[in-house]
Homo-oligomer: A and B are copies of this chain.
Amino acid sequence: MQRHFDQDLAHLKQTLLRMGGLVESQIQQALQALVDRDSDLAVDVIKQDHDVNALDVEIDELCIQLLALQQPTARDLRFVTTGMKISSELERMGDLADNIAQRTLELNGEPQLKPYIDIPRMANWTMRMVKDCLDAFVNSDPVLARKVCADDDFVDEVNEQLFRELLSFMLEDTRTITRAIRLTFVAKSLERIADHATNIAELVVYMVEGKNIRHVAPSASL
């Protein structure tokens, strides 16, 4: 019985990693579609959301089945509930990659506003956070997980800086407004993807140490 359970846990882990890989690639392709102004690729990214959502439902049902079995150990219990939550976070990341692809389709209807420098920089940092949070999960690595949480500050700073730059475009020339706003939405989506990576990292710390590091620091913005 225990051996079967361990196989099921391994299967859950593999399925989560498969979902993570799909989402990582969705984000990377969404950015490529933006930078290359490639509408066909953007459409592909949007279609992939269906597969990501299907995996979320599959993982959910796997986790429910595991919980329904005989009293799991405290550690296995935390693994399964954490798995359910990681699946939700990944699904939302997929939605955000979808949003970026939608904005790309809209942006491709107009000439490119400016060379894309900050957005790819932000995207590379974000994608590394996504990769790291999933590695932290695979390896039960709370040190790497805490690093991901610290990395979130950089993304927030670049997002703010980019917003101010795009605002100055808009203030100078009203013909840039729709494109500048769409780019702020892309930057915002990347910032939210980074937040979800941070959420996964916090879940990994919880899973390994049994310690809830969410909401620990008082809001720095007040």
Chain copies in complex: 2
* A77 lies within 8 A of B53 (CB): no
Q: Does A133 contact B (CB under 8 A)?
A: no
Please name all residues of chain B whose beta carbon is closer than 8 Å to the beta carbon of A67 when the two chains form the complex: 67, 77, 81
Q: Does A1 contact B (CB under 8 A)?
A: no
* B74 lies within 8 A of A71 (CB): no
Tell me the complex Cα distance, A49–B61, Å: 32
Interface readout for A185-201 with B: 1 if CB under 8 Å, 0 if not?
A: 00000000000000000
Q: Does A214 contact B (CB under 8 A)?
A: yes
What are 14 of the A-B contact pairs (CB < 8 Å)? A49-B219, A50-B218, A53-B214, A56-B214, A63-B81, A67-B81, A68-B74, A69-B71, A70-B71, A71-B71, A84-B84, A170-B174, A170-B177, A181-B184
